[in-house]
């Protein structure tokens, strides 16, 4: 019982000491003001009898304002004279093939027009009942699903489904394109 009272007394004394130290710490910080922006000037000029130091005006050399200045040199530059902009340099001369001449009745085979690229992205595969199903998206609607040989979006046909890519073409067989798993 006596040891409990001693421990209680020691605890109360410790709390009292901590309370006094905490009060002094908080009271000490309220007395110190924030440093001023001209602290360096105040430290340089010693205080006289507690009076604030006198502020000195900067030195102004009035005679330098009235002194003779050098005149600008006469040169080619005139800010108020306008000149036309220089023409751009001519393009480099390249040898061009002679234009082909056609006679009436002869036609030039120009080949089929270029088809636009297939606007689908390959986003993954699924396995269902032993078949590999490709998952595609056009970026606007729900995902599209299809197996090899199936028509997608009414315009494209899946030719081959691989692990990381899919091979597709237009329905007529033109425009064969390989689309990687990361998209176009």
Contact 158, 150 (CB under 8 A): yes
Tell me if 156 is assigned to some domain: yes
- Measured in degrees and rounded to the nearest 5, phi and psi for residue 67 equal -70, 160
Q: What residue has token string 């507690």? A: 50
Comparing 90-94, 154-158, 163-167, which segment has the lowest mean pLDDT? 90-94
pLDDT in tens, 99-112: 666 666 555 666 66
Q: E strand or H helix at 177, and its extent? A: strand 177-180
> Residue 10 in 3-state DSSP?
helix
Tell me if 166 is assigned to some domain: yes
Write out the residue range of the structural domain in which residue 155 sits.
121-180
Tell me if 103 is assigned to some domain: no
pLDDT in tens, 7-58: 999 999 999 999 999 888 887 655 555 566 665 555 555 555 666 778 888 8
Tell me if 136 is assigned to some domain: yes
Contact 118, 183 (CB under 8 A): no
Residue 156 structure tokens? 């494209």
Half-sphere exposure of 97 (CA within 13 A, CB side): 3
Q: Which residues of 61-85 are buried (b: 16+ CB within 10 A; e: fewer)?
A: eeeeeeeeeeeeeeeeeeeeeeeee
Tell me if 142 is assigned to some domain: yes
Tell me if 151 is assigned to some domain: yes
Give the torsion sign (CA, 141, 145, 148, 154).
negative
Residue 30 structure tokens? 């309220």
Tell me if 38 is assigned to some domain: no
> Residue 17 in 3-state DSSP?
helix
Tell me if 79 is assigned to some domain: no
Give the number of domains in the chain. Answer: 1
Segment 88-93 mean pLDDT: 84
Helices (H) and strands (E) in the chain, counts: 3, 7
């Amino acid at each position: 019982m006596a040891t409990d009272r001693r421990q209680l007394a020691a605890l109360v004394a410790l709390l009292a000491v901590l309370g006094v130290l905490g009060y002094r710490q908080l009271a000490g910080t309220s007395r110190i003001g924030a440093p001023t922006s001209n602290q360096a000037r105040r430290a340089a000029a010693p205080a006289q009898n507690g009076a604030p130091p006198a502020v000195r005006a900067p030195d102004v050399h009035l005679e330098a304002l009235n002194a003779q200045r050098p005149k600008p040199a006469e040169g080619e530059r005139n800010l108020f004279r306008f000149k036309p902009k220089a023409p751009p340099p001519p393009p480099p001369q390249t040898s061009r093939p002679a234009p082909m001449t056609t006679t009436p009745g002869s036609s030039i085979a120009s080949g089929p027009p270029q088809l636009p690229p297939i606007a689908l992205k390959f986003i993954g595969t699924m396995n269902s009942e032993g078949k590999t199903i490709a998952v595609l998206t056009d970026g606007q609607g729900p995902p599209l699903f299809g197996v090899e040989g199936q028509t997608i979006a009414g315009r494209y046909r899946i030719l081959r489904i691989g692990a990381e890519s899919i091979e597709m073409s237009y329905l007529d067989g033109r425009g064969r394109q390989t689309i990687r798993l990361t998209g176009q």
